[in-house]
Amino acid sequence: MIEVLFHGRVEETNRIGEPAAGGELATAQEMIERGHGLEGVLEERSGDLYGVVNGIDYEQWNPAKDPALVRPYSADEPEGKTVCREALRRELGLDEGPGPLVTMVTRLAWQKGLDLALESLPGMLEAGCRVALLGSGEAPLEEAWMEAAARNPGEVAVRIGYDSELASRMYAGGDCFLMPSRYEPCGLAQLIALRYGAIPVVRRTGGLADTVREFDATRPTGTGFLFDAYTPEALGQAVSRAVDPERWRRRRRRAPRSWAARWASRRSPRRGRAPGPVLRGGAPEPRSRSCP
């Protein structure tokens, strides 16, 4: 009965979309192959299939209005970003380091690549980074990260649990935002980080590959730093590119503008444009500030 109802809806609807999953945005053929009994009607409507990425509510996630921040800021008036960074560093008990402050707001889960981040931690600290993590999840990962913080006082800060106001301060205070996911159907955290001017350092997978572009200092274009192999070496190389102060200073200036500007004109994987609101950050908006 449920399949029959869905079959009718698919036949009647104008457009058919699916979130990004696994690799790049889902193609029409990939959606057909995952049809779960609807393969026939999806095949008939293949010309109307396209992939959809997540969006965020720019009013809800707005560093110019966020009451959790010690000082508001925007792309046009970015001075408050430095104030927020210093406040976060002091709040978490981190020393001032020569490199960027790298933050993570995440579930501590196998999918999210927190084991890789942990394995890469010595290299990040050697490069002068300070690392802060907020999240909860699998007990072994929680314990491992707490032990890492205990071994590296002043360099690594870990807060287990979820605090929406601290999450805002982590986005606002971070120079870089790390997402080394094994796979990521789309992800929201990198979009929030861009909104708050924290430069994403992400693995090139799923929605991360769709929403972050490698920074090219010669043009300059791009919004972050990406790596492919699931290895500490690959992650370390991406962090090394981000550690260049001039690079992340310029990226941070561009980040709050770049997401909306680029996706306002981006075409969907199928021929023609997807419905405008879907790709202008107007995809289904989160109704609460939950952990991405």
HEC readout, the chain: CHHHHHHHHHHHCCCEEEECCCCCCCCHHHHHHCCCCCHHHHHHCHHHEEEECCCCCCCCCCCCCCCCCCCCCCCCCCHHHHHHHHHHHHHHCCCCCCCCEEEEEEEECHHHCHHHHHHHHHHHHHCCCEEEEEEEECHHHHHHHHHHHHHCCCCEEEEECCCHHHHHHHHHHCCEEEECCCCCCCCCHHHHHHHCCCEEEEECCHHHHHHCCECECCCCECCEEEECCCCHHHHHHHHHHHHCHHHHHHHHHHHHHHHHHHHHCCCCCCCCCCCHHHHCCCCCCCCCCCCC
pTM, two decimals, is 0.75
Domain presence at residue 63? no
Domain presence at residue 144? yes
The number of folded domains in the chain is 2
Average of pLDDT values for 161-189? 94
Domain presence at residue 12? yes
Domain presence at residue 249? yes
Q: Domain of residue 109: give its range.
A: 79-258
At 205, the pLDDT band (50, 70, 90 cuts) reads very high
Q: What is the pLDDT of residues 96-109, one digit of tens each?
A: 988 999 999 999 99
Query: Do residues 198 and 236 share a domain?
Result: yes
Query: Do residues 44 and 183 share a domain?
Result: no
What pLDDT is stored for residue 206 in this prediction? 86
